[in-house]
Amino acid sequence: MEDVLKIIVADDEKRITSLISDFLRAAGYQPLVADDGEAALALFEANPDVALIVLDIMMPGMDGWQVCRTIRKKSSVPIVMLSARSEEFDQLTGFEAGADEYVTKPFSPAVFVKRIDALIRRSRGLSSEENDVGLRIDHDAYVAFLDGKPLELTLKEFEILCHLYENKGRVLTRDQLLNAIWGYDFLGDARTVDSHVARLRTKLGDYGNSHLKTVYGMGYKFEV
């Protein structure tokens, strides 16, 4: 029998954690609840195999951004930021901290769980498809390998890598990448793209420096 996937839900509002937990259980997940940032980190340390983490931004002590940055240093587990604040700055800070999704309160719990389902499906999987020398990508499982080793990429970094590779040799502007990866209704700007590409290039090491090129004044391209 397959193990039940665990999801950490961190929010200092008990009605929110209770609501999300009820819907997660109904969907077949095991919620692990924390009411502040330190408790969320402790849960993650005790359960490094969690499938996803939901973090409220405004929590006592360590806020959601700090928790996200700390976890992202050691894991590529999908992270969803949850907040009552919808300002562009908050969304940019969340994505730059390494979050994969940003959800604004109030929200539909049913739709929220569907988004979680999609994130988990994309983040899991073992098979791979070879697309280039040294680089292997499995588009369905959202997994990339370099020289046989899995890359610790966030979902946005993975999507940028795939989009640039699929358009190899072609310059894609920051706006094109922003619209393709985050959608036309995203309120962020080019800084979001720049920060994600910079982290992606770092994680790709020499391969990234050789193939992931900045075309100044225009955007980025995957050079073959």
pTM of the model: 0.58
pLDDT digits (tens, 9 = 90+) for 19-60: 999 999 988 999 999 999 999 999 999 998 899 999 998 888
Q: 27 CB contacts (<8 Å, ≥6 apart)?
A: 113, 116, 117
**Residue written as tokens 């951004």?**
65
**What's the token pair of residue 217?**
């004044």
pLDDT of residue 42: 94
Q: What are phi and psi of 84, to 5 degrees?
A: -85, -10
Condensed to tens digits (0 to 9), the pLDDT of residues 157-200 reads 988 998 898 888 889 998 888 888 887 667 667 788 899 999 99
∠ CA 59-153-92, nearest 5°, is: 45
